[in-house]
Structure 1
């Protein structure tokens, strides 16, 4: 267990030029210069490889969409560290999962599949009320068991990253990882739909087993700095969020997101597009067209970072582990 007072992850290598603020040279003569960055707001943390940011393409629903993503990424020269799926492990056959595992391994990219079932799809009526009820969380022992069964099945097929939308499920999966039931190198990613909105909750998720945490895209830059004062666990951040997560487009914030939130995954979501979950063949055309456009959105963000001189310090291809994080002690056995 690591203390935050210990030295942070290795500092990334120095870049050849300092990043600039958008339109700085044009605005300064007009008396509209932006204030200089406060060094105290810069995250002191990095991934174990020294990088401060990685990339993720979300909502890749099956082998055909995955192949589409990699084809478009090759055409547009978009590096991808992680692919994530949203419909759930239980919506894929063993053959489909195996094909996705092998395809990602060939591209040196991490594959992250969602554990299910989840509250928004079961018979609980509260999720359809104005309050949203408990959201994606697993309702009852049966749903918890289904999530764990998904995890056991996926890891047996070679998946090493699991998306989780319930705190209790996360804690159970972490305990199974610690006792050897799940592979020790399995990582757990917290879903955006239960993502923490304050430092205390963020730290709690890290303590119960989270290896990266999707925070809502409406958090301010100052909120990222507040989180980094208590935790070094990697952030996942939708630079463009789907409509059901707000539809925010924060491309011009990308450089500051990295500076304040590192280590951080830039997620290239897509607003103004139909929902895909749970995915099936009836949504094939939408799944493939949105897969291509997510990659294109990634290229737009990478180009913007390059123009600002903020594109350095990306983790090398194939990097996936989060580094040493702080955990609660795991009981050896239940009472």
Structure 2
């Protein structure tokens, strides 16, 4: 088995894929969250400010989704083929929503009519919610497992995706992104919309906390295999406990007007939740509900060692460059939003 720094290449690719998708959840999560709460702003100026707060970064954040798909295909092509085939309908809905979200942002300011602005405001908000919900539903089904046969093919139908646990994960994802987006907008706004956002942060945080606790209980019931993993390694319980601590910290930080630490805590929650999932599934990538022996793991679904080694070198160069560029964009466009003639 080929190794690097004491870990075999399949484990490294598991970490790379997880890190990239976590980056997408943290970065595009606040974009989607800002869209989810967009219709809570009643004034035209407030909606424009909210749009321009994400204007310089939203399309760059979506690059992480493309990288995530690329790393999954490069490292685990069997998983890529099986999952994308299984989730064909949800992914099509996801892509349509992504398209409408993008054109809503770009088209809104092209005309001055009030009905035109309202139409694209609703399109933007609904599309953002659908994207977040779709991601959560897909994640919920991955956590539970899929009916994968010995042929590594999906043996189910798309209606089975709409099960109670997956829908609960989807709603929790929407709530998580909504509070993440609200905290981000606190960093970028002032005056009337800022006052409105302080209320929205508290409301979204309450909703997310309630759904997170409900989801934690539901996971014990619907996903017993994850519980067995945590019971076998009790130190893993530190991850969900740390997540709960981060949730409780956000409200206190916002009350103290420490908005940037609150934003870091909010993003860390998304990372911790995905880390919890990864810890509960490893080394399985897609668990088969038909027969655990047919599950797709980081070993039986990985590319050849030579491919993993070459692609790991490329990833080690490319991903830090994208991360650096992302940080540069955030630095350039730091500070409060000011509307001008070039604004959305």
TM-score when normalising by structure 1: 0.28
Of structures 1 and 2, the larger Rg is shown by 2
* Higher share in strand: 1
